[in-house]
Amino acid sequence: MEWTNKMAQCDEPRSRSPNDVNLGPTANPHARPTDFDFLSVIGKGTFGKVLLAKLKSDNKFYAVKVLQKKVILKKKEQKNIMAERNVLLKSLKHPFLVGLHYSFQTPEKLYFVLDYVNGGELFFHLQRERCFLEPRARFYAAEVASAIGYLHSLNIIYRDLKPENILLDSEGHVVLTDFGLCKEGMEPEFTTSTFCGTPEYLAPEVLRKQPYDRMVDWWCLGAVLYEMLFGLPPFYSRDVAEMYDGILHKPLHLPGGKTMAACDVLQGLLQKDQHHRLGAIADFLEVKYHVFFSPINWDDLYHKRITPPYNPKVKGPADMQHIDPEFTTETVPGSVGRTPEPSSCLGTSSSSAFKGFSYVPSDENFL
């Protein structure tokens, strides 16, 4: 089973000056890196790393996403960081979205303190098992669809749905993470035109650089469901140009052995014309009531009353057996646990760029 390095990209128009971005009200000025013991690298991305950390005051474990300000400023990504933070604040209200406990900053870095979800990436499990049986794939697809439907209800499109961004919790439920490519303010009739996403999962309208709407998320759901059932994304090729040609022009190939309902939902979600795609008329409700999902009791699903088809059997809150060794064997940078002296600050532009990043909800007592 082969994949390319599935890195997301986003050519979002950037702000001209770092001074015109405000990340909201500052409510947690006292948190600092020295509050934590940083134990292991558990993920990484363009702007920094995700680390398993233990809060010294109560010995609870968290995933702490640490981002380098200088890299964000160099790439002019301040607005995307603001969008990610805003979505994280809203995600606390849905069972299948990762929760933000609080955030803080130093002169050099931004810190998101998140739920530690240690059942492993869906990508990790797919690599080991190659593909899933329909009931298991349906369960994961339903929980993901519920999360995407919730984001759409807030006029947010996700834009980067892929197995690497879908985690399993300790019981085997889905947790959607990484909101760095989310787009806010997307009313049902609104479109955007940013070339944005991960190559294997790009919708045709994004590739054509046409205006697109929330239908891109249902294409991505179709691509992930296809990968769960058949082992590779639809139209997959190691030659990216050939893969893009397939996404744009080739008919969907459905190998045998799947039910008519599974084939029908894939054809609906992977419809090249976004106006005829499943979800184009009634968004999540259309997906929810497709015959493929008829075995799902959606109320039970939302309240986690359905036993997941796979139990990761984690041994405790710090268990890392399902985290890819590519990450865990990496040395934890010493700098993430230190608060630099003011002299090492990046300058006033950095302070202005990330004004108000720090956040703590009123019902949390971490300090």
Tens of pLDDT, residue by residue over 155-197, are 999 999 999 999 999 999 999 998 988 999 899 889 898 888 8
Residue 289's Cβ-count burial label (10 Å; 0-12, 13-18, 19+) is: exposed
For residue range 43-57, what is the model confidence (pLDDT) as tens digits? 887 678 999 999 999
Q: Across the chain, how many H-helices and E-strands are there?
A: 12, 9
Instruction: Enumerate the H helices of the chain as residue ranges.
Output: 69-74, 78-91, 122-129, 134-153, 204-207, 215-230, 240-249, 260-269, 284-288, 298-302, 325-328, 348-353
pLDDT for res 45:
74
Is 315 annotated in some ligand binding site?
A: no
- Is the pLDDT confidence value at 10 over 70? no
160 labelled catalytic:
yes
Read off the pLDDT band of 16 (50, 70, 90).
very low
DSSP state for residue 309 in the 8-state scheme: S
- pTM of the prediction? 0.87
d(CA 39, CA 319): 12
Annotated domain spans of the chain:
33-117+317-353, 121-303
pLDDT for res 337:
81
For residue range 307-342, what is the model confidence (pLDDT) as tens digits? 999 999 999 888 999 998 989 999 998 878 876 655
Task: Tell me which CATH code domain 33-117+317-353 carries.
Answer: 3.30.200.20
Which of 70-74, 237-241, 254-258, 259-263 bottoms out in mean pLDDT, i.e. has the lowest?
Answer: 70-74
pLDDT for res 352:
55
Amino acid type, 59: N
pLDDT for res 150:
96
d(CA 107, CA 118): 30
pLDDT for res 21:
40
d(CA 237, CA 20): 41
pLDDT more than 90, % of the chain: 64
Instruction: Single out the residue of 210, 219, 199, 191 nearest to residue 10, CA to CA.
Output: 199
Q: What is the DSSP pairing of strand 109-114 with strand 100-105?
A: antiparallel
Summary mean pLDDT of the chain: 86
Instruction: Single out the residue of 163, 155, 159 nearest to residue 86, CA to CA.
Output: 155
Phi, psi angle pair for 276, to nearest 5°: -110, 5
- 121-303: CATH topology is Transferase(Phosphotransferase); domain 1 (1.10.510)
d(CA 61, CA 83): 25
From the candidates 20, 37, 115, 160, give the one annotated as an active-site residue.
160
As beta bridge partners, residue 43 has 50
52: its two tokens: 């398993």
